[in-house]
Copies of this chain bind each other. A is one copy, B any other.
Amino acid sequence: MTYSVAVVGGTGYAGVELLRLLAEHPEVHLKSITSRGDAGKAVSDSFPNLRGIVDQVFIKPDSQQLAEHDLVFFATPHGICMDMAPELIKKGVKVVDLGADFRINNVPLWEQYYAMPHSCPDLIKQAAYGLPELHREAIKKASLVANPGCYPTATLLALTPLLKNKLINIEQIIVDAKSGVSGAGRAAKMPNIYAEVAEDFRAYGLPAHRHSPEIAEQLSFLAGTDVDLSFVPHLLPMIRGILATIYTNLLDDDVNLQSLYEKHYQGEVFVDVLPQGHLPNTASVRGSNKCRIAVHQKPSSKQLIVISVIDNLLKGAAGQAVQNMNLMLGLPEELGITAVSVYP
């Protein structure tokens, strides 16, 4: 195993998913797993699925110790990585932040949505936005990668072919998104408990969810101009999976969209454009790093419906983080993240 890596914050759902992927990755050694709260405890005592696979104990995060790795993942809430990343990067350690600290270029907007001052705004420009299908070359060269949010990943992969080709009216893009509850993190909060989530469904996050400015900024980069977006997230009574139903209008109705999407994503291992007339379901990507997309044009109309699905903890978090790591370390992009979705 060529590279040594650490996971800071190994007790959240994205963190544990990272542990599973890294423990089985053929080219990296998962050397350190930190947790302030669980330091000293065996990882497999908290996560019995990892018994016999991950033998470490959680350790306290320590800058000097972390600097001994080739790459450090931050699977932490926002505000942690921005404090520790500068020193690590200075020492030549590569960093992947699964949190939100480097996802948004507009610093005042970030500070408004995340309700804290940003401690190293200069570093944001150096960070690559870790969506390999859009920014592969930048990621390969980056010391710091901002792993995208789960909703942004599902939305951006669905809209990129349209925006890059300037095919749609950017004044009205509606993203009706639905997520399983693991997207809310491994947090002991009342709205997350089983009896509040099961057999229930609701929208949340209105008027403005934190992923909204992230999506809008990336869409605007793609379009070369400001894009207007209505983004409404909903909470699904299930563990994993995001489905985004996106409504938009073509500028010109004479486009073969199926062929456009297939060509755009040709060769992309982790994006699967479904055949005409098929509709994706979240279970088909559960446990896998795939994004599946279908595009439907309303008959005799310019109205489009694009639907995409991902596993929020894989392509929406830990899987994409490993994909970014592979690129940053010069490894084959799909190494360790090709597992097929388990069905049912």
Contacts and interface: CB of A to CB of B under 8 A. Distances in A.
A109 interface: no
Given A20-B342, A344-B195, A176 B245 contact: yes
B53 A239 contact: no
Interface residues of A, number: 78
A193 B192 contact: yes
Contact of A186 (B51, B190, B207, B307): B190
Contact of A204 (B172, B279, B340): B279
Given A192-B194, A342-B287, A48 B182 contact: no
A47 interface: yes
* Number of this chain's copies in the complex: 4
A305 B230 contact: yes
A49 interface: yes
B196 A344 contact: yes
A247 B174 contact: yes
Contacts of A198: 194, 198-199, 238-239
A342 B340 contact: no
Interface string A177-189: 0101110001111
A283 B344 contact: no
B283 A203 contact: no
B206 A296 contact: yes
A30 interface: no
A199 B241 contact: yes
B241 A344 contact: no
A38 B344 CA distance: 19
Contacts of A238: 198-201, 237
Interface in A263-301: 272, 274, 278-288, 292, 296, 298-299
Nearest to A206: B296
A240 B344 CA distance: 8
B203 A279 contact: yes
A245 B232 contact: yes
A207 B344 contact: no
Nearest to A305: B232
B272 A51 contact: yes
A53 B343 CA distance: 13
A106 interface: no
Contacts of A203: 243, 245, 279, 307
Given A49-B286, A199-B240, A200-B286, 13 more contacts: A20-B342, A47-B343, A48-B281, A186-B195, A187-B193, A193-B194, A194-B194, A194-B196, A194-B239, A201-B243, A204-B279, A230-B298, A232-B245
7 contacts: A24-B339, A48-B274, A178-B234, A181-B193, A192-B193, A198-B199, A200-B281
